[in-house]
Amino acid sequence: MTFRWLIEALFRFPASRVLLAALLSAAILRALRAARCRILSISAGAQRTKRHHFVLPRRGGLPALPLDIQVAGPPRKHAAKDAADHPLILYVLDPEPLLFGMAALFSYAQAGYYPMAEGNAEAQFRRLFVVGVGHSSSSFALDAEGFDSTKLRNVRRRDFPPWDHPAIRPGGGSNPCAARFVEGLVDEVIPYVEGQLLGLRPGAATPERRCLMGASYSAVVALQVMLARPAFKHFALGSPSVCFDPAILEDVRTGAAAGAAAASGARVGIWVGAREHEGTKKGPDGKALVPGNVHDKMVEGCRDLAEALRDRGVVVDGVHELPGEDHGTMKPALVSRGLMWFAQGRASV
């Protein structure tokens, strides 16, 4: 009652109304300044990104799989006029917590640094869309304050290896979760992204204009996509973890899919951290000498993969070693090297 009387009293006198208006104006200005500070605290190149939710439906006894799809188009100030008609699209698998953000920022900077470039690799960034496809943020408690790395590791182990991971389903059988992810990416996610989120005309995005990037386990997902569906021509792979599932090399060596990928013109770039040669050795104190490494034969497995793909006629660039990088730190270098490799491949067409 007292509060209502106070408000009525303020409105009863002209001077009080002026005072109230001034107080409200000051409060609104403070709120706007705070909001502006929050916006400006985000890197300019990240402000153009948008996150969307998508669900792969139930299939073969598997529950629905919620995904997050992140999109960053070419910055409007620098975008090529025909970017929507002749786009390039980088799909980044397992985009959080690092790969999508790095790719979105790198492409933003390249487009701005070379706004007048024509006919070279740098010019390609003015028509490049970056799309991240990965598990929903809720599945591993991702937010601005951090994420649950154990939960993230578990959903990767569940959905990425071609054969069941022993920590998820013992027995080593063919992994239905990976098959669902691969087929859902090609059959459902790509049409949704290009038709609804990017609004591209039918036929604007072709396999020749798409690149699929993955690192570690998600690089093996990209390899599975290449062997399953001709949706991409370019594959940028960072330390593909075939050493955990070496049987996939036999699929490459003897299966019909690798030959079909070669016939479609698929090209593969492979990068590994030079320090991955050091493997998972421990020091006298029992602690890992290179904590980021996950396997003793990562580099050997990548070289075996490159050789197997070449033997089937697939064009392979690499294996390129990234100086000073281990399995964990090679990802930023993968983004810059992989994106330039994709752009150079398109500039030479």
Residue 160 CA to its chain's centroid (Å): 14
Point out the residues of the chain with pLDDT beneath 50.
37-39
Contacts of residue 53, Cβ cutoff 8 Å, sequence gap at least 6: 66, 67, 68, 69, 136
Distance between CA atoms of residues 76 and 102, nearest Å: 19
What is the DSSP-derived secondary structure letter of residue 140?
A: G
pLDDT at 62: 95
Distance between CA atoms of residues 280 and 238, nearest Å: 18
Provide the β-strand partners of residue 56: 65
Q: What is the pTM of this model?
A: 0.88
- Count the Cβ atoms, other than its own, within 10 Å of residue 348: 8
Phi, psi of 68 (to 5 degrees): -110, 135
pLDDT at 261: 95
What is the DSSP-derived secondary structure letter of residue 205?
A: S
pLDDT at 347: 81
**Taking all residues of the chain, what is their mean pLDDT, rounded to a whole number?**
91
> Are 87 and 209 in contact, with CB atoms under 8 Å apart?
yes
pLDDT at 139: 97
CA distances from 105 to 13, 168, 170, 263, 339 (A): 55, 35, 40, 34, 12
- Count the Cβ atoms, other than its own, within 10 Å of residue 336: 14
Show the tokens assigned to 139.
């599945």
Provide the β-strand partners of residue 132: 70, 92
> Are 316 and 270 in contact, with CB atoms under 8 Å apart?
yes
**Burial of residue 151, with CB atoms counted within 10 A of its CB: 0-12 exposed, 13-18 middle, 19 or more buried:** middle
pLDDT at 34: 54
Provide the β-strand partners of residue 282: 288
Q: Could you tell me the sign of the dihedral formed by the alpha carbons of 216, 304, 248, 291, in that order?
A: negative
88-93/234-238 β-pairing: unpaired
Phi, psi of 234 (to 5 degrees): -115, 135
Distance between CA atoms of residues 105 and 315, nearest Å: 28
pLDDT at 8: 57
> Are 235 and 222 in contact, with CB atoms under 8 Å apart?
yes
pLDDT at 39: 47
Show the tokens assigned to 87.
């786009």
- Angle in degrees, CA 139, 177, 130, rounded to 5: 65
Place of tokens 């492409």: 107
pLDDT at 43: 85
Distance between CA atoms of residues 113 and 123, nearest Å: 10
pLDDT at 348: 75
pLDDT at 26: 63
Among 191, 194, 173, which residue's Cα sits nearest to residue 183? Answer: 191
